[in-house]
Structures are given as structure tokens and as C-alpha cells.
Amino acid sequence: MNNLAENTIIHKVKNGDRLAFRILFQKYFQSLFLFASKFVDEEQAKDIVQDCFYELWQNRRKTEITTSVSAYLFTIVKNRCFKYLKNEQKKRIHHDNFGLLLKQEELLYYTQSEKSILEFATKDRIEKVIDQLPEKCRQVFEKSRREGLTNKEIADVFNISVKAVEKHISKALQLFREEFKDMLSILFILLFNKF
Amino acid sequence: MESQKFSNIELVIQRFVQGQASVEDEKLLYSWIKEDPGNRKRLFQEKDIWESAKLGTKQMNDLELDQWLSLQERTISRKLRFSGIADFLKVAAIIVISLGLGWFGRYLYAQQSLIYKTVEMKTVEATKGQLKEVFLADGTHVWINSDSELSFPSRFDASNRRVELTGEAYFEVKANEEKPFYVKTKSHTVKVVGTRFNVCEYPESHIIETTLEEGKVKIITGNIVHDLLPGEQSSFNTETSKVRIGEADLEIFTTWKEGRYEFRNEPLSKIFQIVERWWDVRIDYPEKLKNERISGVLRRYKPLEQHFELIEQLLPIDYEIDSDEITITEQ
């Protein structure tokens, strides 16, 4: 969807067009959910993202989007996750919860400088990379990606060693990195232009 | 010392990225990213890539649909509350999502009807080149393949749920022991109690295939009843009225709804039939090639040319695409 198409969609949403709203939802739901899941648990992520769309719809007449739709939605989700993590931190007395600390670091990473690939990546692009993976590597990767199996479970399924599974996963990640190399540098340029 | 502490870092990163990190892993990673901003970038970028790869998985698609429906409920029920009669209304939501090119398609949504309104028969047709998704009044989710038609009542009556099918469809039926779900095709009926399964019955083929992924179904042909177990497939030959039950490769029969069709060692005639349906084209090819067998994957959202480029590598053929006419010649 280019900017023009997106403007049209937004215009239609403002006028109460549910089809346009659905298109918007389909375009961004998965990315926003995966993004929120980086910082908060799954249930919380569902709520945050759904509320974000719910409010967009309820307040559609009042809402003015000056940036791109994706930047607008990602910013809202980011802010809500930030609020949630802050509350979480207050609740915990121990400061050595490294899981939580890492989440905070990660959120900081996205607020300070970097953009997530999720803001730009499309399902097509992902599928293209997966298609290019060597057969065995793809099978292993898909088990992990689609079914969320652990490396040990995957090793059992294919009757190979855990080490071999790790090798395949790392190979897959490497190819993804290659594929997204240009995208990652584009992200950099975009940020560079902003400042 | 330091280098030794982080000697295993690659594997720890991998575990973290996959969401399988232990408490020690997290502790180690935290000190690792504090060492160098480059490490921090590396870790989060890797995780970001991994998470992006989850876009479009079945799990995500299911969640998306689920969330969309609950969002619909929230935005619609609010409207009803204003009208003050929400409690007396049952919302029968029939959502038809048509996947033409990409995600853009025609869309009808939420038809609200009063309980006592008359029951109408509705028909949803996916023409060649289309794939449609329908939600029935009871929450059953159906994917209708190209060149197929599903008829169903706008509301199910008290005792059972009946739909009629021509072509191919994949069903995820909402469980309800008291109200069995029936799929009627030209010559037989599938009786279901909460399950996922695929029915394939195209008029030009005399075989009706029913593949069960999960749950329990009965195949009823005249007076004969067959039970199907998960992972099994029944093939009913409409010419001989014989039924054969065997094991099925579930992936093959249930992935088409995600826009994939995997074929293993299948005759060209069958593959071309699917190509004709999915892309709404006509393929003209020498009779001789009919029984040539090949393996591969069709992807609905990929250009047709890509598929023929592949077939051309597998078989000694030339092809020519002229809008919706494809001519195949032997080399």
C-alpha cells in the first residue's frame, strides 16, 4: 500500500467505512502484536493492540494523523508498553530480574534510535526468504517459527542432534540478516534524515 | 577471562531470540549488551528479525482473525446498546472475506438479524482465481477454494446444522454435540461433531475426498456409514460407489487455504486443473503429458510465470502465456 492508497484508506475509515478499517487492521495487526509482544506478555499485547484499533475506530472523526499510519500506530503501542513496563517494575521488589531489565533495554533501544523491521516487513518478503532457505533448514526453521517447538523437540522430530538444529536455525537467521541488510540500512537512512 | 565468559554467546543469543532463554542466559546477555552498544544492537536486531519471520504464520493469521472478530463485537455491540434493545438481539454475523489479489477483496460484514426473522439460504461462491473465507451463524469457519460454492442458512435451526458444497472447502466446525453439522455434497453427506476437515468434490472429477485433521466425522452414502479418524482420508468413487479409506498427508490437503498447494509425485493433469482454477486460466497441453508426474509447491500469490519457469525445468516443455491462455508444447 503506498502513501496515496493509505491516505484514501484513512479517509474512508474516517467516514465509517468498515472495509477500509479491516484493510488497515489486516495490514498492521500482526506487526503491532509482534512488536508489543517484545515487551509485554501475549495477553497484554493482544489488549494493547486491540485497544489501539478500537480507539482509532471510536475516535475516527477526531483523530488527525500527521505522520504515516504505521508510525502513528507503532508510537501508540510503544507508549502503552512503556507505561505497562514501568508499572511492572514498581511491583517487583527485586532489581535483579534480568528478563524485565532486558525488556526495558529493548524498549529503550526502539525509543532512542532504531526502528523495528516489523514496521516495514511484509508477509511476502518473509515468505520470499523462507523459500530461499535450503530444504532441511527451512523445515527446521518452520517447526520453530510456525509451531514454536524448542530445539530439543525439533531435534526429536527430525531425529537429528540439538547441535544440528542450532546450526540450521543460525543459518536461517544469517540468510534473513542478508535479506534484510538493505532494509536495515534504509532504516538507518530514514533515521539519519530525521535528525 | 571475559572472552571465556562470553564464549557461548552465539547459542545464548539464539535461545533468547527463540524465547527459550534461561535466567542465567538473561543475566549473561544483560552484562554482554552493557559491554558494548554494538552488542546491544546485534541482540535486538537478531530478535527483531526472528519475530518478523512470524508474520503470516497460521498462528498469527488465526490470532488476527480472532482479534478482528472480537473487535467487531466491541464496535457493533456499542451501537446496539444505544438503540436500547441489545439484550433482545442476537447478532448473526456473517463475514465474508474474499481474497482476490493480495488482501484486497470484496467484503460484506455483520448482518444483524432479529431472532424471529425468517431463515434464508445464502450462497457464497468463490469463482476461479478466488479464495473465500466465511463465518457461519454458529461460528464455524469455512475456507472455500476456487471454483466452489457453499450454501448455508442464515441461521441454523434447533436440531442440526446443514450446509451444501460443490467443489472444495476446509471446515473448522464449532463443537456442539447436540447439534451435529452436516456437509452435503452431490452424492454423500459428512456428519461432524466439532472438528477440522477438508472436503473436495469437483464435478469434473468422479472422486470425492474427505480428509480429517482433527475430531470425528462420519461419511454417509445412502445407507452406508464410514467413520473417519484424524489423519485419514476417504475417497469415494461416484461411478463405482466404492469407498476407500487410507492415510492422508494432511499438509497437502489442508494447506491450500493458506494459499499453498503442495504436490508430491502427482500427474500434470491434476496440477494443471488446480492452476486453471486458482489463476482462472486455460491450459492447452499435449495429451501425452497428462500422466507425467512432478512434485512441487503452488503459491497462489506468486505470479503464474514463476510456476511455469519451474515446471519447464522439470519437464522437457516450452510454454507460452497469452493473457489467460497458456499453451504448452513438447521440446
What is the pLDDT at residue B258?
75
Compute the nearest-CA separation of B98 from chain A (Å).
11
More confident site: A142 or A146: A142
Average pLDDT estimate for A77-101: 82
Rounded Cα gap, residues B181 and B157, in angstroms:
11
Report residue B59's pLDDT band, with 50, 70 and 90 as the boundaries: confident
What is the pLDDT at residue A94?
60
**Which CATH fold topology does B90-253 show?**
Jelly Rolls (2.60.120)
What is the pLDDT at residue A4?
57
User: ipTM score here?
Assistant: 0.86
Nearest-CB residue to A145 (from B41, B53, B107): B53
Contact status, residue B57 vs residue A145, Cβ threshold 8 Å: yes
Interface test with A, best of B52, B107, B135 (most A CBs within 10 A): B52
Instruction: Please give the single-letter amino acid code of residue B127.
Output: T
Architecture of the domain spanning A3-119: Orthogonal Bundle (1.10)
pLDDT tens for each residue of B189-201? 888 876 888 888 8
Q: What is the mean pLDDT of chain A?
A: 83
The answer on pLDDT for A51 being more than 50 is yes
Q: What ranges in chain B are assigned the alpha helix state H?
A: 2-5, 9-17, 23-35, 37-52, 58-83, 250-254, 268-279, 304-314
**Which CATH fold topology does B259-330 show?**
Phage tail protein beta-alpha-beta fold (3.55.50)
User: Could you give the 3-state DSSP secondary structure of residue A11?
Assistant: helix
Compute the nearest-CA separation of A143 from chain B (Å).
11
Rounded Cα gap, residues A75 and B194, in angstroms:
41
Nearest chain A residue to B52 by CA: give it: A118
The answer on pLDDT for A3 being more than 60 is no
The answer on pLDDT for B252 being more than 50 is yes
More confident site: B101 or A191: A191
Nearest-CB residue to B49 (from A29, A166, A180): A180
Please tell me the class of the A123-194 domain: mainly alpha
What is the pLDDT at residue A70?
86
User: Could you give the 3-state DSSP secondary structure of residue B295?
Assistant: strand
C-alpha cell recorded at residue A159: 531425529
Cβ distance A117 to B49 less than 8 Å, yes or no, reads yes
Average pLDDT estimate for A36-52: 94
More confident site: B299 or B182: B182
Compute the nearest-CA separation of B182 from chain A (Å).
30
Half-sphere exposure of B171 (CA within 13 A, CB side): 34
Chain B residues inside the 8 Å CB shell of A105: 30, 33, 40, 44
The answer on pLDDT for B286 being more than 80 is yes
The answer on pLDDT for A113 being more than 50 is yes
What is the pLDDT at residue A46?
95
What is the pLDDT at residue B219?
83
Chain B residues inside the 8 Å CB shell of A109: 40-41, 44
Report residue A49's pLDDT band, with 50, 70 and 90 as the boundaries: very high
Q: Domain limits of chain B?
A: 2-52, 90-253, 259-330
Report residue B213's pLDDT band, with 50, 70 and 90 as the boundaries: confident
Rounded Cα gap, residues B292 and B300, in angstroms:
22
Q: What is the mean pLDDT of chain B?
A: 76
Among positive and negative, which fits the CA dihedral A178, A183, A189, A195? Answer: negative
Instruction: Please give the single-letter amino acid code of residue A151.
Output: N
What is the pLDDT at residue A96?
66
What is the pLDDT at residue A95?
60
Give A13-16's long-range contacts (Cβ < 8 A, gap of 24+).
Answer: A13/A56, A13/A57, A13/A60, A14/A60, A14/A61, A14/A63, A16/A60
Contact status, residue A53 vs residue B71, Cβ threshold 8 Å: yes
Average pLDDT estimate for A53-79: 88
Q: What ranges in A113-161 are assigned the alpha helix state H?
A: 123-132, 135-147, 151-158
Cβ distance A109 to B41 less than 8 Å, yes or no, reads yes
pLDDT tens for each residue of B119-152? 677 788 888 777 777 778 787 888 888 888 999 8
More confident site: B274 or A49: A49
Q: Is the pTM of this model over 0.80?
A: no
What is the pLDDT at residue B3?
58
Percent of chain B past pLDDT 70, that is, above it, reads 84
Cβ distance B54 to A34 less than 8 Å, yes or no, reads yes
Report residue A155's pLDDT band, with 50, 70 and 90 as the boundaries: very high
More confident site: B294 or B170: B170
Cell 537429528 identifies what position? A160
Report residue B116's pLDDT band, with 50, 70 and 90 as the boundaries: very low
Interface test with B, best of A18, A108, A154 (most B CBs within 10 A): A18
Nearest-CB residue to B71 (from A34, A35, A53): A53
